[in-house]
Amino acid sequence: MLYHMVVARKEVLVQLDDELLAQLDRIAVERGVGRSDLLRRLVAQLIVAYEEEKADTKLVAAYEAIPPDEFDLNWLARNAAENALEW
């Protein structure tokens, strides 16, 4: 595994009020990471959550665009009944 890799980064100015900064610093200390590292991790998690939300929205829209017809619903019910697991 590579350690101490050089990663190109851009410096970004973010303005936080005193209370938010204090909470951020407290969490960073509790997790044993620096403020910048914590912010990078949080932004990465935000991006993943955002992309998953967009994908979910597209999936819902696709199902709403073509609702199942009566045949599909009857087939699903029969298939579920015929293939139900015995408990």
Residue 41 domain-assigned (yes or no):
yes
Residue 43 domain-assigned (yes or no):
yes
CA dist., res. 37 & res. 20, Å (int): 16
Q: How much is the pLDDT for 2?
A: 58
* H helical segments located in the chain: 18-31, 35-65, 70-82
Residue 58 domain-assigned (yes or no):
yes
Residue 25 domain-assigned (yes or no):
no
Which H helix or E strand runs over 17? none
Taking 80 as the threshold, does the pLDDT of residue 1 lie above it?
A: no
CA dist., res. 25 & res. 21, Å (int): 6
Residue 35 domain-assigned (yes or no):
yes
- Are 47 and 53 in contact by the 8 Å Cβ rule? The answer is no
- Total-model pTM: 0.63
Residue 1 domain-assigned (yes or no):
no
Residue 60 domain-assigned (yes or no):
yes
Residue 24 domain-assigned (yes or no):
no
In the chain, the number of structural domains is 1
Q: Can you give the residue range of the structural domain that contains 66?
A: 30-82
| 31-83 tens-digit pLDDT | 999 999 999 999 999 999 999 999 999 998 988 887 667 777 788 888 888 87
